[in-house]
Structure 1
Amino acid sequence: MTELEKMLAGELYFPSDKLLTSMRKACRKQLDILNATCQTEHKRRTQLLKALFGSTGKRLYIESSFKCDYGDNIHVGENFYANFNCVILDAAKVTIGDNCMIAPQVGIYTATHPINAEQRATGIEFAKPITLGDNCWIGGNAVINPGVTLGNNVVVASGAVVTKSFGDNVVIGGNPARVIKPVS
């Protein structure tokens, strides 16, 4: 298997691989253009995002500055919005449903590293997919960790660190995140 195939399969891979490095560089160039495009140029920004992401709904908007690793592994539904300084590390698939909103400074991280120090020191890593259902609202400075799935109508409180999956219709918060209350 190539390092790309290993990455997408959730196996250990070397991110320093030449192909992966060139893919990230190409993505950075696209992000430079997106982030330099005036916020008032909605059509142009939408075109750039549609070219960057694996799939999108018709309506989406992301404030600058936005950062991701590859772009191709990000799939967002209809009516998607992300506020300033969103980071999506998309070494694995990131699927975001319809009508989702992301507040400023949110991190969505699929990439992770081995716990074993010797193995980690080699530079090897792996990635786990993240899925956000429809109608999710992710509060400012929240972090969504590798492998997390959130159901529909989930609200993530500001500053939460989401380390495990949650079902539909809940407000979660804290570090690590836990259910605070049901969505009524």
Structure 2
Amino acid sequence: MPAHTSESKVFATRVQTAMSLCADLNALAFTDLAGRAEKLTEIFGGPLPDSLSILPPFYTDYGLHTTFGERVFINQGCFLLDFGRVTIGDRVLIGPRVTLSTSGHPVAPDERFDYITHAPIVIEDNVWIGAGATIAPGRHDRPRLRGRCRHSRREGRAPAERGNRCERRRAAHAPRAGSLHTAGVAPPPTLAENVCARQGPLPTGARKRCEKSGVSSAKQYPRHGEHRNDLGD
């Protein structure tokens, strides 16, 4: 949205209104649930689900571009910058001090004050956003399902029973016969092996630590400045 246009002036007016309504909301007694519901209806410009729970203090800079599902819970101290539109699904939990920001400014310094950039945020059903998280413009967040992949859960069957895309992806990345992972190739040296092998003559204490870790301290590389070929001879 370009600055200094009729659209930007309408936006600026709405920002002032939304912030004023948020100040009124946050000044209410915590037990005044009826007053809180009334103010939230004004902030978001229409009726809200009865199961929606927003704990003050709460802040928004627009308010008219947010939709809520059922049983949404928003904890204290959250910021909802919704000019670019925010969609929140059913049974979403949002922890304290979370920011959902759909708008910003161009990165280039010479354009930074000339435009407001924006992109929507979509929070799907059953997502839990932890405390202090910041959701940037354009995010589309889905719940993480543990134990079974989300493709299997849709069908109500385990991955092995379906042979779904997650199972196929795992099979595609499995080590092949004869590869480095299955051919008995020694793993890369550990940090202890690197340290013990490169230090040259070791003090008694360091030599004991090397021997205790199973690394030979007899191998000594040439000092700095001396020639050593790529095989370490």
TM-score when normalising by structure 2: 0.57
The residue number in structure 2 matching 1:13 is 2
> How far apart are residue 32 of structure 1 and its match?
1.3
Residue 105 of structure 1 pairs with residue 91 of structure 2: no
Matches within 5 A, 1:32-181: 32-53=23-44, 56-120=48-112, 122-151=113-142, 153-154=143-144
- Distance, in Å, in 2 between the alignment partners of 1:57 and 1:168 is 28
Task: Note if contact 1:135-1:154 (Cα within 8 Å) is conserved in structure 2.
Answer: no
1:48–1:168 CA distance, 2 compared to 1 (3 A): farther
> Equivalent residue of 2:31, what SS?
coil
Q: Indicate the RMSD between aligned Cα atoms, in angstroms.
A: 2.3
- Distance, in Å, in 1 between the alignment partners of 2:101 and 2:50 is 25
TM-score when normalising by structure 1: 0.71
> How far apart are residue 54 of structure 1 and its match?
5.0
1:154–1:41 CA distance, 2 compared to 1 (3 A): farther
| Higher RCO (CA-CA < 8 Å; seq separation 6+) | 1
Identify the structure with the greater helix proportion.
2
- Distance, in Å, in 2 between the alignment partners of 1:28 and 1:128 is 21
Q: Which segments of 5 or more consecutive residues in structure 2 lack a partner in the other structure?
A: 152-233
> How far apart are residue 74 of structure 1 and its match?
1.3
- Distance, in Å, in 1 between the alignment partners of 2:122 and 2:132 is 18
> Equivalent residue of 2:100, what SS?
strand
Task: Note if contact 1:73-1:91 (Cα within 8 Å) is conserved in structure 2.
Answer: yes
- The CA deviation string for residues 97-144 of structure 1, in whole angstroms up to 9 with x for no partner, is 111111111011101221222111x34221000010111111001110
Residue range with higher mean Cα deviation, 27-36 or 138-147: 27-36
**Percent identity of paired positions between Structure 1 and Structure 2:** 30
Identify the structure with the greater strand proportion.
1
> Equivalent residue of 2:96, what SS?
coil
Residue range with higher mean Cα deviation, 53-62 or 27-36: 53-62
Task: Note if contact 1:78-1:98 (Cα within 8 Å) is conserved in structure 2.
Answer: yes
The code of the aligned residue for 1:138 comes to I
- The CA deviation string for residues 68-98 of structure 1, in whole angstroms up to 9 with x for no partner, is 1110111111111111110011111101011
> How far apart are residue 50 of structure 1 and its match?
2.5
- Distance, in Å, in 1 between the alignment partners of 2:150 and 2:45 is 25
- The CA deviation string for residues 48-78 of structure 1, in whole angstroms up to 9 with x for no partner, is 2123225632211212211111101111111
- Distance, in Å, in 2 between the alignment partners of 1:154 and 1:65 is 29
1:102–1:49 CA distance, 2 compared to 1 (3 A): same
* Structure whose CA Rg is larger: 2
Q: Which segments of 5 or more consecutive residues in structure 1 lack a partner in the other structure?
A: 1-11, 156-166, 170-184
